[in-house]
Structure 1
Amino acid sequence: MKKSVIDRRSMRNVSPQVQQYLQASLSDNTRRAYSHDIEHFLAWGGRIPATPARVASYLAHHAQTLSYATLCRRVVAIGRAHSIKRLPSPAHAEMVKSTLHGIRRTTGSAQRHVAPVLLQDVKAMVKDMTGMKGARDRALLLTGFAGAFRRSELVMIRVEDIQFVDEGLVIRLRRGKTDQAGQGRDIAIPFMRGKSCPVKAITSWLVQSGISSGALFRSVDRYSHVTEQGLSPQSVALIVKQRAEAIGLDSRQFSGHSLRAGFVTSAAKSGASSWKICQQTGHQSEAVMQRYIRDSHLFTDNPLGKIR
């Protein structure tokens, strides 16, 4: 409680510089998500300030239509909206906590898992790509898979972040989901045999597009002109869905995260060690990454195969 009082006092009469750093404490994606969460709450009939009973009613109303993870994020956003205005947060009320707990016990907390884009899928997707958009999408998909990038990380890559070396190339990721401090890390993309080499795809894209600096992956207009505007994370998801549908897959099962999930799954199936996979993906813990590995081994040594 004492810490909360100190925090509220420290928020009074803050300078523009302090406000700027407070804004930087959250990523752009997080701020957009919180803004959407608050808009959804207000559109339902909520208000700021909100009572614990009102927030609990909101949670109960959407318990069957929104995931448990989404509801938890909505509570965090509502709580933050109160903290900014130096108001008591209903997010800490026992009624709200108990309602969330009851929803979890009733509906479960499992998150939706997208289908992974496996290596054979990526090869099929990029096989017959042509034109400027084809060159971009080819480089995007192969790089996203080989580097196990999140969609937000893919659109963050700049030409200045790429270093070509004898073994392939190294991409300097300036910031990631688990690296909000911006320490950055290097991701190695080696040469691959055949026509699905991400290094050759990036080289070809740079030559065809004429890009020499700035965002690596950019919008291409209907006249095949490469614009100055970089792709958004949502664009990456749409490209994955479009290319999945083009090879006969159900696009509803795929998203921008499918490339990252596909790398982990494919690497696990090939026998790569967990720590080497984490080195590529940037996972701070093997706990999340192990889920993909367990899924990939569901049919390995399955006891039913031993039954004659």
Structure 2
Amino acid sequence: MPNLGVTSTEKHDRTLQVDVGETLSNLMDQANTYISAAKAKNTVRSYQSDWRHFTSWCENFGLASLPTTEETYALYLTNLAKDGFKASTIQRRISAISQAHTAAGYESPNTNKIRMVWAGIKRTIGTEEKGKEPIILDILKQILDVIPDRLLGIRDRALLLLGFAGAFRRSELIGIDVEDIKTVKEGIVISLKSSKTNQEGKKEVVAIPYGENPDTCPVHAINKWLEVANISEGALFRSINRHGQVSEKRLSSKAVSIIVKRYMNVVGLNEEDYAGHSLRSGFATTAAMLGKSERSIMKQSRHKSAYMVRKYIRHTSLFEENAATDIGL
């Protein structure tokens, strides 16, 4: 009689098909994980927030968001401009909407008409943004003069001096661990795990030299903070409760801005003109005023383009080597 059962070869083929299917499925899951990691967490959060804003707006008017229509998209962008949103915010919303459509398997809704609408918006509202003022060295010294010599003040002095001397972004500054700091003859060297321009986590170090004055020396300030706070490992900058107890919890990026604004008020300056980023831009401005080369500034600030560094060199350096000075007027 003929063999009507399944042969061993057929069983092997089916098993192989199942294994291949599971392998491909696992690889696809891993690929999606890599896609998620392709953008910085802050960027992903911003995109998610922007997408929620768009979908909520669509729901309010009973319009489709995914896929959206050219008319709906144009109305949304027009509404953003009418409500006074900055060009940079609208640009980010455009990116978020495009990313959401692509991820869902739809074509990008950025058609020629949408690009024309966006071009018109930019020409109408302008793309120049008023940045926060830099904390130049003279202002920083005013702040240091009023910081109290107690636990909270010792932490704040260390944070402000290190943030300035290292031209750190807020996320970089609060992300530093004690283990990232190495003492050398000239000062300290800080290893950054990752940064805005170093998403792959390549080794990136920032050298902080000893200052000329112990009262304004960032290395001295860090060492004093570690000593009085009794910190030997983990997060460098931490919160302090009302009882003067140092937490194991790392400071947030928002806390850096709050600290900066607090002292701007104390020295009589408008806190709305300054933010946590003012330390970074203040370093670039101060260094330029003192004749430091763009190359050396970029080395410390870790900018990848001279154009970006020049954006940070604020109006305080406009009169340095000004061609209209001393020409007989």
Q: TM-score, normalised by structure 2?
A: 0.85
The whole-number CA distance in structure 1 between the counterparts of 2:97 and 2:179 is 39
The whole-number CA distance in structure 2 between the counterparts of 1:277 and 1:172 is 18
Name the counterpart of 1:150.
Answer: 169
Name the counterpart of 1:264.
Answer: 284
Alignment of 1:37-186 (within 5 A): 37-45=50-58, 47-64=65-82, 65-90=84-109, 92-127=110-145, 128-186=147-205
The whole-number CA distance in structure 2 between the counterparts of 1:271 and 1:69 is 32
Alignment of 1:188-207 (within 5 A): 188-194=207-213, 195-207=215-227
Contiguous gaps of at least 5 residues in structure 1:
1-10
How big is each residue's C-alpha offset from its partner over 1:237-295, in whole Å with a ceiling of 9 and x where there is no partner? 11111111111110001111100000000000000011000000001110111233463
Report if aligned partners of 1:139, 1:202 keep a CA contact under 8 Å in 2. yes
Name the counterpart of 1:6.
Answer: none
Name the counterpart of 1:5.
Answer: none
The whole-number CA distance in structure 2 between the counterparts of 1:115 and 1:225 is 33
Alignment of 1:283-298 (within 5 A): 283-293=303-313, 295-298=315-318
Aligned residues: 297
Alignment-mate amino acid for residue 125 of structure 1 = I
Alignment-mate amino acid for residue 324 of structure 2 = P
Alignment equivalent of 1:34, drawn from 19, 33, 47: 47
Contiguous gaps of at least 5 residues in structure 2:
1-23, 60-64
The whole-number CA distance in structure 2 between the counterparts of 1:13 and 1:160 is 36
Q: TM-score, normalised by structure 1?
A: 0.90
Alpha-carbon shift at residue 12 of structure 1 (Å): 8.2
Q: Sort the Cα spacing of 1:244 and 1:302 in 2 relative to 1 into closer, same or farther, 3 A.
A: farther
Report if aligned partners of 1:176, 1:184 keep a CA contact under 8 Å in 2. no
% identical aligned pairs: 40
Alignment equivalent of 1:239, drawn from 256, 259, 269: 259
Alpha-carbon shift at residue 229 of structure 1 (Å): 1.4
Name the counterpart of 1:212.
Answer: 232
The whole-number CA distance in structure 2 between the counterparts of 1:44 and 1:217 is 40
Name the counterpart of 2:300.
Answer: 280
Report if aligned partners of 1:191, 1:198 keep a CA contact under 8 Å in 2. yes
Alpha-carbon shift at residue 200 of structure 1 (Å): 0.7
Alpha-carbon shift at residue 134 of structure 1 (Å): 1.2
Name the counterpart of 1:224.
Answer: 244
